[in-house]
Amino acid sequence: MGVTESNESQDRVGYVHIQDIPQLNQEHCRMRDPQRVERIINEFVCGGPERMQIVSDFDYTITKQRTDDGVAVPSSFGIFNSCKSLPDNFKEEIDKLFHKYHPIEIDPHMPIPEKVQYMIEWWTQSGKLASGFAFDLAELDQMAGQFRHALRDGTHELFQALQRLRIPVLVFSAGLGNSVVSLMQQANIMHPNVKVVSNFLRFRDGLLDGFQEPMIHIFNKNETVLEGGEYYELVHTRDHIIVMGDSLGDADMAAGVPASSHILRIGFLFHHVEANMEKYMNAFDIVLVDDQTMSVPQALLALIDNRHQMRHPHGSNGTASVQAQPNSAL
Ligand X SMILES: C[n+]1cn([C@@H]2O[C@H](COP(=O)(O)OP(=O)(O)O)[C@@H](O)[C@H]2O)c2nc(N)[nH]c(=O)c21
The set of catalytic residues is: 57, 59
Residue ranges in 206-235 that form contacts with Mg ion under rule CB under 5 A: none
What character string, x for contact with ligand X (CB under 6 A) and - otherwise, covers 201-230? -----------------x------------
Residue 212: CB minimum distance to ligand X, A: 14
Among 60, 147, 172, 284, binds Mg ion (CB under 5 A): 60
> Distance between terminal CA atoms of the chain?
45
Residues 6+ apart with CB under 8 A from 223: 55, 170, 232, 253, 254, 255, 256, 257
Distances (CA, A) of 217 to 27, 67, 113, 119, 132: 34, 27, 13, 7, 22
What character string, x for contact with ligand X (CB under 6 A) and - otherwise, covers 264-303? ----------------------------------------
Check if the beta carbon of residue 170 is closer than 8 Å to that of residue 58: no
Going by C-alpha positions, the residue among 208, 170, 156, 184 that lies closest to residue 76 is: 184
Residue 55 makes contact with ligand X by CB under 6 A:
no
Residue 231 makes contact with ligand X by CB under 6 A:
no
Residue 170 makes contact with ligand X by CB under 6 A:
no
Residues 6+ apart with CB under 8 A from 159: 169, 189, 191, 194
Report the relative pairing of strands 194-199 and 169-176 from DSSP bridges.
Answer: parallel
**Count of residues binding ligand X (CB under 6 A)?**
21
Q: Which is nearer to ligand X, 98 or 200 (CB)?
A: 98
Interface stretch with Mg ion, choices 29-37, 59-67, 184-192, 301-309 (CB under 5 A): 59-67
Residue 127: CB minimum distance to ligand X, A: 8
Residue 209, class by beta-carbon neighbours within 10 Å (0-12 exposed, 13-18 middle, 19+ buried)? Answer: middle
CA atoms lying within 13 Å on the CB side of residue 69: 5
Among 77, 135, 159, 280, binds ligand X (CB under 6 A): 77
Check if the beta carbon of residue 134 is closer than 8 Å to that of residue 207: yes
Going by C-alpha positions, the residue among 283, 292, 294, 289 that lies closest to residue 249 is: 283
Q: Which is nearer to Mg ion, 168 or 245 (CB)?
A: 245
Residue ranges in 244-273 that form contacts with Mg ion under rule CB under 5 A: 246
Residue 60 makes contact with ligand X by CB under 6 A:
yes
Among 75, 82, 146, 298, binds ligand X (CB under 6 A): 75
Determine if the peptide bond prior to 214 is cis (ω within 30°). Answer: yes
Q: Which residues of this chain interact with Mg ion, rule CB under 5 A?
A: 57, 59-61, 246
Q: Which residues of this chain interact with ligand X, rule CB under 6 A?
A: 57-60, 75, 77-78, 81, 94, 97-98, 102, 105, 122-123, 126, 173-175, 218, 247
